[in-house]
Amino acid sequence: MTCVQRIWIQLMIGAVLTGAIEANPPELKGKYKKPTINQRFFGADLAMVGNERDEYATNLASYAVKILRAKKGDQDTLDLTRQIIGLALHLSPRNKKSLVANAQLARGIMPELIACDYDPEVFARLLLTRGQLLEKRQGASNLLVARYLIALAATIDPRNEDAVYEAEVRRIDHGEISWVKLTDARP
């Protein structure tokens, strides 16, 4: 064995021992059902440009995979992941990270972590703020996406009093938010 091969083996062993490479990636403990998306739910009337939609979709997918891996693929987290990925795919139907995570989960494969631009607390504040801005623009799509973003903000960071308050006010005023529109579309 050459010196280079020995060094390479030592580096790989070190990476596995330190957790840089997962020897046994976590498996799903529940069943993932792909969101049924027949067409893009939010059209041109949504006050978000294409690049912004794509960035939100990537960060939503990243957060969904992160919590799924942290909770080791349990069923409740798989259900939340389905909602988040459903929203991501409606915002940007061809978003690579969302499509790949969705397809892998449907095959029972735990996706690899996706690089994220924000920590969960910062992402929750961003979702809350973007939701509030969408509400000011009026229009059915803007109001609906606003509710989803604000509800997610409260879910992502339940210690964020502003997000929880805003989500609860909307629940009182408009009832529970239904994710069925995003996850179980009818033809």
pLDDT tens readout for residues 75-125: 999 999 999 999 999 999 999 999 999 999 999 999 999 888 889 999 999
Produce one character per residue of 50-63: b if its CB has 16 or more CB atoms within 10 Å, e if not: eeebbbbbbbbbbb
Q: Which two tokens stand for residue 71?
A: 């909770």
The pLDDT assigned to 20 comes to 47
Q: Which residues of 143-180 are buried (b: 16+ CB within 10 A; e: fewer)?
A: ebbbbbbbbbbbbbbeebebbbebbeebeeeeeebebe
What's the rounded Cα separation, in Å, for the pair 84 and 149? 10
**What backbone phi and psi angles, to 5 degrees, belong to 36?**
-90, 110
Q: For residue 111, what are the contacts with CB-CB under 8 A and spacing of at least 6? A: 65, 68, 100, 101, 104, 105
| CA–CA separation, 87 and 40 (whole Å) | 10
Between residues 26 and 59, which one has the greater pLDDT? 59
The amino acid sitting at 145 is V
Domain coordinates of the chain in residue numbers? Answer: 50-183
Q: How many CB atoms lie within 10 A of CB 92?
A: 25
pTM score, two decimals?
A: 0.83
- Lowest mean pLDDT segment, chosen from 12-16, 75-79, 117-121, 155-159: 12-16
